[in-house]
Amino acid sequence: MSIVLRTTGLSKSFKGKEVVSEVSMTIRKGEIYGFLGPNGAGKTTVMRMLTGLVAPSGGTIELFGEPVRRGEVEPLKRMGSMIEYPVFYEHLSAQQNMRLHCDYMGCYDPDAIGEALRLAGLKDTGGKPVKAFSLGMKQRLGIARAICAKPELLILDEPVNGMDPVGIRELRELFRALSKDYGITILISSHILQEIEVLADTIGIIHEGKLVEEVSMEQVRNERTACIEAVTSDARQAAFVIEEQLGIRSFKVLGNDTVRVYDPRIAPSELARALVLHGIGLTSLTRRNVSLEEQFLKWIQGGKSHGDADEARASKN
Amino acid sequence: MAMLMRLELRKIRLRNWLLSFAAANLVIAMWVVTNLPNEGVRTFVEAFYSNRSYVEMTFIVFSSVFMSKLVMDEYKSKTVANLFAYPIARSRLLAAKLIVTALFSFAASMLSNLFVAAFFLAANAKNGYIAEPLTSGLLTDEALRIFINAFAVTGVVLLPLYVGMARKSGNAIIVASFVLALGLGGSHDESGHNWTLAAAIAACCVGAGFVSAAFAVRKAEREDIL
């Protein structure tokens, strides 16, 4: 799969303070890349650098296989973007704003505007000026504008902000369709983990300006630390058996009856047998997956493993 | 470039600007015919000089407001982030705005001067404010002065752009233009029949305006859009 975007050591400083530091990310053709990070992590600054609005202090950007030089505008012909809050010429209608955009982009397909507005769910706005639009409508119009010139790379910064749940679902379907049916590569940022979890093929985690992880969602799903949750008659006794008899140190005691075991080597049946053999009553035994939220917190807390953290807690108990 | 300039005109409410232009002309014309007779003006040269002063002061500020809307409003409303994400060099995008501003200033100065002069001459023919005969030589000279002064006005209008871009403020442009209008309005007309001096002063104004615009564009090309 060819690479659409690659940054190497991308950095940006404002007034001596580094807000983006050595970000190296790779986005492949046709994939949806979820850019995750807390507010102020540097997502928007990276996106502004990719669209030429902000000049990098260091590092390189490669778009469509070619290095991007400062002030170069050629790659922008193949890109669409909506960064932060979508802004328009407020006294103009949606159609007029779209027509302006198409003329600047050199897109003269007569059906492009109608199709983009239809895809974004905004076909009946008439001559109403944009200043009369709701936030959700502006978000949709911003997305319509970003896709109407049929870009190969779409950069969307928090595109579902201000949308209702129905709208979010519609846009999710739209992004999937743009990726799968039209082959558009999408870089989408969000701090809403669930949104990215169901949409992205690859995720990049940015925290305090640094890309702390870049991984495919398939890998995340496969490697997610699973835990076995055992509800027993005596959690303290169960913890003793788990630690002394089974030699497992990654576990956590919750209350008087529940123990969570994070060691992937132990099978549920083996755990059940050990507990029952030592006379501990077993009410239930379930396998739980760590949510992306927990995984995300793990990544941004400096790669400390779930088991390590819990081991420390378990030792205190 | 012509297409970029057309796109700029589509972003503004051109009809409102033309109506404001017409209203400003009517106000100046009414002011001139009611005020000039009381100023002790006795010759057509003096009358034309006063007319041009009023027109220039008005349209230096008016055109600066126009430029502020065209350039600084993009920064204020943040649409500049969309604009600079298009596959067109920032220098070309800004040049289109400045050429539209320059053409607007030049045309506004020419048309307004011609209209106000014609209005005054019509009123004078009826009321006889000035006793001396109106000769074709006087009219030709005045037409030439109006033409040269339109260049000067265009240059002066572009001067405050650098201040506006440095402060990212439309108000800074308007205030600076107001100061320039008070300071320069009509002063470059005192060249009398020395056409070389008049042309040199106009060329200096155009040159200064061009340099200010070039520095402003250069600054915009390098700065980050946040």
pLDDT bin (cut points 50, 70, 90) of residue A307 is very low
pLDDT at B83: 93
- Tell me the nearest-neighbour CA distance from A218 into chain B, angstroms: 33
pLDDT at A290: 67
pLDDT at B169: 79
pLDDT at B134: 80
- Nearest chain A residue to B221 by CA distance is A71
Which of the residue ranges A59-63, A176-180, B8-12, B166-170 would you say has the lowest mean pLDDT? B166-170
Give bridge partners of residue A231 from the DSSP assignment. A258, A284
Q: Does residue A314 register a pLDDT over 70?
A: no
Residue B200, Cα to own-chain centre: how many angstroms? 18
Direct distance between the N- and C-terminal alpha carbons of chain B, in angstroms, rounded to an integer: 26
**Angle formed by the axes of helices B90-127 and B44-67, to 10°?**
150
Scan residues 36-65 of A and list those with Cβ closer than 8 Å to B: 48, 51-55
A105 close contact with B: CB closer than 8 A? yes
How far apart are the C-alpha atoms of B17 and A125, rounded to whole Å?
27
The string of DSSP letters for B40-63 reads T--SHHHHHHHHHHHHHHHHHHHH
pTM of the predicted protein model: 0.79
Mean of pLDDT values over A34-54: 90
Task: Copy the structure tokens of residue A292.
Answer: 């992306």
Task: Copy the structure tokens of residue B37.
Answer: 């007779």
A131 close contact with B: CB closer than 8 A? no
pLDDT digits (tens, 9 = 90+) for A242-270: 988 888 888 888 888 999 888 877 888 88
Strands, E assignment, chain A: 3-14, 17-23, 26-28, 32-36, 58-63, 66-67, 79-82, 153-157, 185-190, 202-207, 210-216, 226-232, 251-254, 258-261, 282-289
- Nearest chain B residue to A46 by CA distance is B226
Mean of pLDDT values over B183-196: 61
pLDDT bin (cut points 50, 70, 90) of residue A303 is very low
Cα–Cα distances (Å) from B192 to A283, A295, B52, B141, B180, in that order, read: 107, 82, 13, 10, 22
- For residues A207 and A301, the answer to whether their CB atoms sit within 8 Å is no
Q: Which residues of B touch A79 (CB under 8 A)?
A: 85
Mean of pLDDT values over B69-87: 91
- Nearest chain A residue to B82 by CA distance is A87
A66 close contact with B: CB closer than 8 A? no
A87 close contact with B: CB closer than 8 A? yes
> How do beta strands A79-82 and A153-157 pair?
parallel
Which among A77, A29, A68 has a CA at the least distance from the CA of A49? A68
Q: Does residue B84 register a pLDDT over 70?
A: yes
pLDDT at B33: 82
**Angle formed by the axes of helices B170-184 and B136-158, to 10°?**
140
Q: Which amino acid is at A134?
A: S
Place of tokens 């995340």: A220
Q: Which amino acid is at A177?
A: A
Q: Which amino acid is at A216?
A: S
Task: Give the Cβ contact number of residue B77 at 10 Å.
Answer: 14
Report the range out of B30-34, B40-44, B210-214 with the highest average pLDDT. B210-214
pLDDT bin (cut points 50, 70, 90) of residue B186 is low
How far apart are the C-alpha atoms of A185 and A202, rounded to whole Å?
11
Q: Does residue A308 register a pLDDT over 50?
A: no
- For residues A99 and A108, the answer to whether their CB atoms sit within 8 Å is no
Mean of pLDDT values over A79-91: 90
A108 close contact with B: CB closer than 8 A? no
Domain ranges of chain B: 2-37+44-222
How far apart are the C-alpha atoms of A100 and A202, rounded to whole Å?
34
Tell me which residue in A53, A85, A89 faces B85 most closely, judged by beta carbons: A53
- Nearest chain B residue to A12 by CA distance is B224
pLDDT digits (tens, 9 = 90+) for A192-246: 777 888 888 898 989 888 988 888 887 777 666 678 889 999 999 999 999 888 8
The CA angle A234-A238-A244, to the nearest 5 degrees, is 150
Calculate the CA dihedral of residues B29, B188, B108, B50 and round it to 10 degrees.
Answer: 0
Cβ–Cβ of A81/B86 closer than 8 Å?
no
Q: Which residues of A touch B83 (CB under 8 A)?
A: 104
- Tell me the nearest-neighbour CA distance from B73 into chain A, angstroms: 10
Q: Does residue A310 register a pLDDT over 50?
A: no
- For residues A144 and A86, the answer to whether their CB atoms sit within 8 Å is no
pLDDT at A159: 87
CB pairs under 8 A between A and B: 62
Percent residues over pLDDT 70 in chain A: 93
Which among A230, A216, A207, A227 has a CA at the least distance from the CA of A298? A207
Mean of pLDDT values over B163-168: 81
Tell me which residue in B10, B79, B85 faces A51 most closely, judged by beta carbons: B85
- Nearest chain B residue to A56 by CA distance is B224
- Nearest chain B residue to A55 by CA distance is B224
A83 close contact with B: CB closer than 8 A? yes
pLDDT digits (tens, 9 = 90+) for B97-132: 999 999 999 999 999 999 999 998 888 888 877 888
Q: Does residue A89 register a pLDDT over 90?
A: yes
How far apart are the C-alpha atoms of A277 and A269, rounded to whole Å?
12
A97 close contact with B: CB closer than 8 A? no
Q: Which residues of B touch A81 (CB under 8 A)?
A: 85
Q: Does residue B191 register a pLDDT over 60?
A: no
pLDDT bin (cut points 50, 70, 90) of residue A1 is low
Strands, E assignment, A15-152: 17-23, 26-28, 32-36, 58-63, 66-67, 79-82
Task: Enumerate chain B positions whose Cβ falls within 8 A of a Cβ in A.
Answer: 3, 7, 10-11, 13, 77-79, 81-90, 221-222, 224-226
Cα within 13 Å of Cα(B176), Cβ side? 22
Mark residue A2 as left, alpha or beta (left: phi above 0; alpha: psi -120 to 50; beta: remaining). Answer: beta
pLDDT at A90: 92
The CA angle B60-B62-B64, to the nearest 5 degrees, is 65
Cβ–Cβ of A71/B89 closer than 8 Å?
yes
Cα within 13 Å of Cα(A249), Cβ side? 7
Cβ–Cβ of A106/B224 closer than 8 Å?
no
Select from B70, B86, B97, B226 the residue whose CB has the most chain A CBs within 10 Å, as the one to mutate to test that interface.
Answer: B86
The CA angle B223-B225-B226, to the nearest 5 degrees, is 130
- Tell me the nearest-neighbour CA distance from A77 into chain B, angstroms: 5
- Tell me the nearest-neighbour CA distance from A223 into chain B, angstroms: 38
pLDDT at A264: 75
- For residues A304 and A298, the answer to whether their CB atoms sit within 8 Å is yes
Scan residues 140-169 of A and list those with Cβ closer than 8 Å to B: none
